[in-house]
Each structure stands twice: as C-alpha cells, then as structure tokens.
C-alpha cells in the first residue's frame, strides 16, 4: 500500500482506496503496463528464437529435424549411415530460404507447425484446410518444395510427401518428388 495524489483535489489517498476521502473522486491508479509488455516481447522473441533454432539445422539439430532428414533420406534411397557430406554455401542458403518461406507460410496461417509428420510411416505435411483450399497451385507447390528442401538440408534430393488436413488428417494432396497432385 502506498499513498498517491488524488487526480481531482491533490489530497494524499491510499492506493487501495476506491475513492478520495476528501472530495469523493474515484481513485485511478496509473497502469504502467511496461512489465507485462516487456514480458510479452521477451516471450515473443523466445518463441521466434526457438523456431529458428529448430529449423536452423545446427550441428546438434532437433529431434524433429533429424527425424525428417533421416526419413527423407531413407525414402530417397540414399545412405542413412549418418556420414552426410558437409553442406555447401549454396545448400545452406537454399535451406535458409526454405525456412524463411515456411515461417511466412506459418505466419499466414497456411500451416499450423513447421515440421514433417508421419502418418502410417509415411512422411506428411499438415496444413490448415481453409488457407490451403484458397491458395494458388504455385503456393501449394512451393510449400511441398520447401518441406522437401528442409528434409534434405538444402540438397537437391527428392522424396514423396502427403499433404494432410491438420484437423482430420485427411489427404488433401500427394507430392511424388516431382509433381503435386491435389485431391
């Protein structure tokens, strides 16, 4: 409890009082909001940082990224012995471009999460059905290309993906590594 000045008469009033004892004016506490605003900013930066760290393909990698890479590599018939050649600068740039594309797609509501899911052992991509239905074919093709790029860390390799409704897991499209067929 602290003493504050009444906004009407200037008398000292308890911060817990509902009205000024002298003039009866309601006590209005100044809300600073700085602490809650700062907390929201810190949390927002933390969430964005976590997403970027998960998608960055760093040396340790996240379980989701490693699983996506392993499954996609196995699906393509490439060796999954764990001895991948180091990424070239061009592959790193391509992978970063794919991450940026997927982050934009998530921000626009096209995808609920960034990551490959597995349904019945097959790799898939979850999409929000409304935005998917209204997106152009080029946007849909770009989405599966970006996931494929993410799975192979920027390397030009191909795999198949099923595009699934995020709510019902119903197949909305199938990508065979070359072309996209929309149901």
Look at residue 41 and tell me if it is in a domain: no
Does residue 107 share a domain with residue 23? no
The continuous run of DSSP H or E covering 175 comes out as strand 171-175
pLDDT in tens, 69-127: 333 333 333 434 456 778 888 888 888 888 888 888 888 888 887 777 877 777 888 88
Q: Is residue 140 part of a domain?
A: yes
Whether 110 is in a domain gets the answer: yes
Give burial (CB, 10 Å; 0-12/13-18/19+) of 62. Answer: middle
Within a domain: 97: yes
The predicted-structure confidence for 127-176, as pLDDT tens digits, reads as follows 888 888 888 888 888 888 888 887 777 777 777 888 888 888 888 998 88
Residue 161 lies in a domain: yes
| H-state helical runs in 30-154 | 34-55, 63-76, 89-107, 129-134, 137-151
Is 42 inside any structural domain?
Answer: no
Domain that holds residue 11: 1-30
Residues 112 and 153 in one domain: yes
Domain co-membership, 26 together with 64: no
pTM over 0.75: no
- Structural domains of the chain, count: 2
Same domain, 69 and 19: no
């Amino acid at each position: 409890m602290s003493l504050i000045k009444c906004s009407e008469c200037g008398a000292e009033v308890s911060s817990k009082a509902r009205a000024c004892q002298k003039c009866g004016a309601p006590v209005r506490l100044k809300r600073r909001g700085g602490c809650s605003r700062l907390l929201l900013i810190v949390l927002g930066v933390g969430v964005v940082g976590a997403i970027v760290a998960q998608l960055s393909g760093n040396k340790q990698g996240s379980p989701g990224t490693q699983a996506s890479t392993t499954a996609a590599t196995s699906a393509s018939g490439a060796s999954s012995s764990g001895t991948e050649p180091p990424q070239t600068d061009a592959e790193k740039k391509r992978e970063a471009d794919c991450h940026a594309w997927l982050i934009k797609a998530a921000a626009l509501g096209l995808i609920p999460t960034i990551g490959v899911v597995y349904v019945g052992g097959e790799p898939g991509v979850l999409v929000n059905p409304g935005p998917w239905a209204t997106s152009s074919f080029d946007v849909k093709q770009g989405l599966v290309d970006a996931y494929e790029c993410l799975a192979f860390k920027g390397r030009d390799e191909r795999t198949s993906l099923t595009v699934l409704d995020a709510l019902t897991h119903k197949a909305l499209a199938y990508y065979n590594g070359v072309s996209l067929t929309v149901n």
